[in-house]
Amino acid sequence: MSRLSVPKTYKLYVGGAFVRSESGRYDRHGDRNVPRASRKDVRDAVKAARAAAGPWAARTAYNRGQILYRAAEALESRAADFTLERAEIEASIDVLVHYAGWTDKLAPVLGGVNPVAAPFLSFTLPEPTGVVGVVAPDEPSLLGLVAELAPALAAGNTTVAVLSEPHPLAGLDLGEVLGVSDVPGGVVNLLSGRRTELTEALAAHPGVGAVVDASDDPSLGETVDRLASESVTRVRHAAPTPSYEAAVGDALSRLEAVTELKTAWHPVGA
């Protein structure tokens, strides 16, 4: 007796759970229905990311590195589930491993004791920005996303990402990978849908501390700058990342863009 296969149902990844869009809308990609997230879904994702931000930042740098490395392991084990070139998947895995190694190096590289005149001691410490909004490029759909998520996570931030509009399946598949890894719920939130609609809601949200725009869309970039300026949200515009080398070649600038440097002064010897 023959049987019908059970088609995969794609859902958004918000707060560590797989959820349908609150509006019930979807877009058709090939033979798959893909949820079309709404502005309400953006607000829900930011709320989940803000709830997860404190506990994630409070983890030791070493532990965050372990979790990113575990995410790379999970992606390696699920590579066959992605309908992508193997080279892109491998580059994405290597990017996660690379930034896993940065977690305990941020403090000594970006922070330190500042040379100031006596009788003062001044030192600088890097701290997470908070919730980082990521606008993924159209292509490469997986590597372009991971290249922006990994530095934000390594720096201790939580993330809300707007996936590639024409190719969202790889990003939603990544959600399933993260769901079986050690990444806590709410640390990464993935939304598929109409990029302009979702990005506007994300950039305008006062709970977002920084936006990384890799859309390579000048018009959208101008909109992000305008909306983000209203709440003094940091913005980094980046070209789509085509390779592992491009993702790690400017690692420090990617990390600095989502890190706050806090400087303290103390009187000494008085």
Give the span between the Cα atoms of 67 and 100, in whole angstroms.
8
- pLDDT tens-digit readout, 109-133: 998 788 888 788 887 889 999 999 9
Give the span between the Cα atoms of 127 and 5, in whole angstroms.
48
Give the span between the Cα atoms of 130 and 110, in whole angstroms.
17
Give the span between the Cα atoms of 125 and 263, in whole angstroms.
6
Phi and psi, residue 64, nearest 5°: -60, -40
Is 258 a residue whose pLDDT tops 60? yes
Task: Indicate the length of the chain as a whole number.
Answer: 270
Dihedral angle, C-alpha 182, 81, 75, 71, nearest 10 ° = -20
For residue 4, what pLDDT is reported?
Answer: 85
Query: Are 175 and 185 contacting, i.e. CB atoms less than 8 angstroms apart?
Result: no
For residue 5, what pLDDT is reported?
Answer: 84
Residue 119: is the preceding peptide bond cis (ω within 30°)?
Answer: yes
For residue 269, what pLDDT is reported?
Answer: 66
The helix (run of H) or strand (run of E) holding residue 261 is strand 259-267
- pLDDT tens-digit readout, 70-81: 999 999 999 999
Query: Are 197 and 39 contacting, i.e. CB atoms less than 8 angstroms apart?
Result: yes
Give the span between the Cα atoms of 77 and 65, in whole angstroms.
19
Give the span between the Cα atoms of 177 and 181, in whole angstroms.
6
Nearest partner of 233 among 132, 125, 126, judged by Cα = 132
- 84-89: long-range contacts (C-beta < 8 A, 24 or more apart)? 84/140, 84/141, 84/142, 84/170, 88/140, 88/142, 88/143, 89/142
Superfamily of domain 12-267: Aldehyde Dehydrogenase; Chain A, domain 1 (3.40.605.10)
- pLDDT tens-digit readout, 10-59: 999 999 999 999 999 999 998 889 999 999 999 999 999 999 999 999 99
What single letter denotes the amino acid at residue 251? A
- pLDDT tens-digit readout, 157-199: 999 999 999 999 999 999 999 999 999 999 999 999 999 999 9
For residue 118, what pLDDT is reported?
Answer: 78
Map out the domains of the chain as residue ranges: 12-267
* Count of beta carbons in the 10 Å neighbourhood of residue 101: 14
Is 270 a residue whose pLDDT tops 70? no
Give the span between the Cα atoms of 152 and 45, in whole angstroms.
16
Query: Are 183 and 175 contacting, i.e. CB atoms less than 8 angstroms apart?
Result: no
- The arithmetic mean of pLDDT across residues 244-257, rounded, is 97
pTM, two decimal places:
0.94
Give the span between the Cα atoms of 33 and 100, in whole angstroms.
34
Which residues are paired to 120 by β-bridges? 267
- The arithmetic mean of pLDDT across residues 4-13, rounded, is 90
For residue 7, what pLDDT is reported?
Answer: 82
